[in-house]
Amino acid sequence: MNSYSTFGTALHRVAILCYVLFALFPLFWLLKVSVTPNDLLYSEGVRMWPSRMSFEHFRFVLAHSAFPVFFRNSMIVAGATAVIVTLLASLSGYALSRFTFRGKYWLVALMLLTQMFPLVMLVAPIFKMLSPLGLTNSLTGLVVVYTAFNIPFATFLMQSFFDGIPKELEEAAKIDGATQFMAFRQIVLPLTLPGIAATLGFVFTAAWSELLFALMLISGNSAATFPVGLLTFVSKFSVDFGQMMAAGVLALIPACLFFLFIQRYLVQGLTAGAVKG
Amino acid sequence: MASIEVRNVRKNFGIVSVLHGVDLSIANGEFVVLVGPSGCGKSTLLRMIAGLEEVTEGEIRIDGMRVNERAPKDRDIAMVFQSYALYPHMNVAENMSYGLRIRKAAREKITAAVSNAARKLELQPLLARRPKALSGGQRQRVAMGRAIVRQPKAFLFDEPLSNLDARLREQMRAEIKKLHRDLGATSIYVTHDQIEAMTLADRIVAMHEGVVQQVGSPLELYDRPANLFVAGFIGSPAMNFLSARYEVGAGTAGARLPDGTLIGLSSGYQLEEGAAVTLGIRPEHVEMSPASESSLRATVDLIEPTGFGIILHLGLHGLPFNVFTLDRAALTAGPTVTVAFPPQHLHLFDETGKRALESSLQKGKG
C-alpha cells in the first residue's frame, strides 16, 4: 500500500513535469531563437541552444523599430481594459450573485449569447459603428471594443467568486449596522481579492494579445498595439525571425510582471474560517 | 432591552406560503425558543424579526415601534448565526468591534466593550487571532461576543449550537443560559433540538408547517401538549401513540384498544361515546408490571442501555412502542413483557389531533 502510494505520487509528479515541459517548450524556443545570431539561424540545423549567443535582435528592436510605441499602446489598452472590465464585472457579478430582479434570466441569456459566435462576424459592423465616432485608429476605440467583449465572461467569473462568499457574512454585517454598500465594500470585496486578481489577469492577457480588432481598426504605427507590430516583421519575401522572437520575449515581460504582482492575491483560502465548512 | 410583538405575520416566497399568520408577544428580558422540525418557518420568522426577510403581511414591533420597513441596521438587534458568519479577514477583536466601529463609537468605549465581552466569554488570549485559527467552540464564542459588545435591544439566535459536537453543545448551552441570566436581554432562539428548547426557554413556541402549535413554558408543553404534533415533538424518546375508542360508564371513563383491552382514564372527556381517539403516553411513564386486566403484553424487539436508564423497543400489536425505565432488571427482560399505563399520565387526543378537553365523570351516561 505504502510503496504503491509512493509510486503513484512519483508517477503523478512525472506526469506534471512532462506537461510543464510541453507547455513551456514554445517559450524556450522563442527565447532560443531571439538570442541566435542571424548567420546561425539557418546554418546550424536543429539545436537546443546556439553555439554563439547575441543580443543584436533585442538592440535592433529597441533602438531601430517602432516597438517602444507598440508597447506603450498595448500597455495603455490592456491596462485600461483590465481595470474598467474588472470594475464593471465586479458590480454586475455581485448583482447577479445576490439579487433577484426582473429580467435577470434574460440578461444572463443575452450575455451568454454574445459568447457564442465568432468575432470575425462583427468586425465590419463594428468598424462601421466606430468610424463616424472617430474611434477607429484610436486606443480609446480599442478599449471600448475590448471592454464590451470581455465583460460577459468577466461577469460570470466574478459571479462565481461572489457565489463562494457566504451570504451570512453580509447579513451579519447588515445586522451589525452596515448598509448594503458598506457590507459589499468592507466585507465582500476584501474576500473577493483573489477573484478580482484572476479577472484582472484574464482580461489583461486577453487584451494584451488581441490581434483581430487591433488589425482591423488600427492603421499606421502610431496607434498600433504589439500583436499588430509583430506582423511588421513579416515582409513580402522574408520573415525576420530573430527580431520577431526578440520582440516576443520583450512582450512577455509586462505580462509576467503583471502576474507576479497579482499572484499573492490569487492564493485561495482567504475565506477559510468564516463559516463551518 | 425591549419587547417584541409579532402580529398576524405571513410570509410568501413567490407562490409558496411558509408562515400562515403568526402572533407572538415577547416580554422585555424574556428568553423565547422557537422550536420545530426543518421547514416549519421558525428561521424565516427569526429572519423577519431581524429584517433579513421582508414581511409579506402583518406587523412586527420592537419596543412598540413598527419595524417592518426598517433596515436591519436600524433595528438595533444582534444575531448569532448557525454558521457563525465571522469576518475571515478580521481578527477576533476586530470582528467583535465591527458593529461599534461602523457606528463610529469612541475608541475608549470600543476597547472597554470588547475587553468586557472578551472577559465574559474567556476570549482574552484569542483577541489577535483570525477566525480560521480558532476551534468551533471558540468561533461560536466570538460570534456571541460580537453580539453582546453592542448591547442591542434583543438577541436573535439561529440554531447557534447545531455545528458543535455533543459535549461542546451542552457546555455552550449552559453558557448561553448564564449569559442571559447576567445580561437579562430579550432573546429569541431558534432550534430544532427540543432538549435545547426545554433547557433554555422561559417560553417555548412550538411551530409546524408555518403555524404556531402551542406557546407555553417548557413544562406546560411537556405535561399538557396541545396536540399530537407537540406531544410527539417534545420529549425524547418520543411519546407513544395508540388508536382507541372513547368509552364512558358510570363514574368511569376509558379507552378501548382495538384488541379489546380497556385502558382506564383518570377523568372524563368532552367526547362522544365511541369517538375515535389517540391515546398518548410517554415512554418514561409506562410501568412494567405483572399481568392484570388492564395491562398489555408486548414483545421485546431491542434493548438500548443508555447508562442512565434503559430504552426498550417493544412491539405492541405489531406497532412500535417505547419504554424508558431506570430499572436495570429490564436489561434481562424476556421475549415478552407486560406494560401498564398509569391513568394520570395518559394524554387523550381527539380525531383532529387536538388535546381532548376534560370533563367531570358524572356527565357520563349511566
For the stretch A6-21, pLDDT in tens is 888 999 999 999 999 9
C-alpha cell at A71: 508597447
Question: What separation, in Å, do the N-terminal and C-terminal C-alpha atoms of chain A show?
Answer: 30
On chain B, the residues whose CB falls within 8 A of the CB of A174 are 51-52, 71-73
Q: Residue B286: pLDDT above 90?
A: yes
Give the pLDDT confidence score for residue A268 in this predicted structure: 55
Residue A69 CB burial class (10 angstroms; 0-12, 13-18, ≥19): middle
pLDDT tier at B164, thresholds 50, 70, 90: confident
Q: Are A197 and A268 in contact (CB under 8 A)?
A: no
Helix ranges restricted to H, A164-240: 167-176, 180-183, 189-191, 193-208, 212-217, 226-230
On chain A, the residues whose CB falls within 8 A of the CB of B159 are none
CB-based contact B88 A273, cutoff 8 Å? yes
Domain range B4-232, CATH architecture: 3-Layer(aba) Sandwich (3.40)
- Across chain B, what does the average pLDDT equal? 91
Nearest CA to A179 among A191, A168, A190, A171?
A171
Rounded average pLDDT over B164-171: 88
Domain limits of chain B?
A: 4-232, 237-363
As a whole number of angstroms, the distance between CA A73 and CA A76 comes to 5
Q: Residue B366: pLDDT above 60?
A: no
Chain B residue with minimum CA distance to A273:
B132
Q: Are B244 and B256 in contact (CB under 8 A)?
A: yes
On chain A, the residues whose CB falls within 8 A of the CB of B50 are 171, 175
For B86, the closest of A175, A186, A273 (CB atoms) is A273
Q: Residue B240: pLDDT above 70?
A: yes
C-alpha cell at B60: 412586527
CB-based contact A175 B78, cutoff 8 Å? yes
Residue A242 CB burial class (10 angstroms; 0-12, 13-18, ≥19): buried
| C-alpha distances out from residue A31 to A245, A259, B48, B243, Å | 7, 19, 63, 87
How far does the CA of residue A129 sit from the closest CA of chain B (Å)?
43
Q: Is A174 on the interface with B (CB under 8 A)?
A: yes
Is the sign of the CA dihedral B196, B197, B199, B201 positive or negative? positive
Neighbouring residues of A222: CB distance < 8 A, sequence distance ≥ 6: A69
Q: List pLDDT tens digits, range B128-142.
A: 999 999 998 899 999
Chain A residue with minimum CA distance to B86:
A274
| C-alpha distances out from residue A64 to A67, A218, B285, Å | 8, 22, 100
Backbone angles phi, psi at B105, to 5 degrees: -75, 160
Nearest CA to B163 among B184, B186, B134, B206?
B134
Q: Residue B5: pLDDT above 70?
A: yes
Give the pLDDT confidence score for residue B189 in this predicted structure: 96
**Which letter, b or e, does each residue of B76-109 get, where b requires 16 or more Cβ atoms within 10 Å of its Cβ?**
bbbbbbbbbbbbbbbbbbebbbbbbebeebeeee
On chain B, the residues whose CB falls within 8 A of the CB of A177 are 73, 99, 102-103, 150
What count of other Cβ atoms lies within 10 Å of the Cβ of residue B202? 15
pTM of the entire structure? 0.80
Helix ranges restricted to H, chain B: 42-50, 92-102, 107-120, 136-149, 166-183, 194-200, 218-223, 228-233
CATH for the stretch B237-363: 2.40.50.140
Q: Say how many CA atoms lie within 13 Å of A265 toward its Cβ.
A: 18
Give the pLDDT confidence score for residue A267 in this predicted structure: 59
Give the pLDDT confidence score for residue A45 in this predicted structure: 74
Q: Is A166 on the interface with B (CB under 8 A)?
A: yes
Number of H helices, E strands in chain B: 8, 22
Q: List pLDDT tens digits, range B295-340.
A: 889 999 999 999 999 999 999 988 999 999 998 888 888 889 999 9
Rounded average pLDDT over B206-233: 95
As a whole number of angstroms, the distance between CA A268 and CA B86 comes to 18
C-alpha cell at B89: 479577514
Give the pLDDT confidence score for residue B106 in this predicted structure: 92
Neighbouring residues of A76: CB distance < 8 A, sequence distance ≥ 6: A139, A143
Amino acid letter, B119: R
Q: Is A164 on the interface with B (CB under 8 A)?
A: no
Below-70 pLDDT ranges, chain A:
1-2, 266-277
Indicate the CATH number of A65-266 among 1.10.3470.10, 1.10.3720.10, 1.10.10.10, 1.20.58.220. Answer: 1.10.3720.10
Q: Are B16 and B172 in contact (CB under 8 A)?
A: no
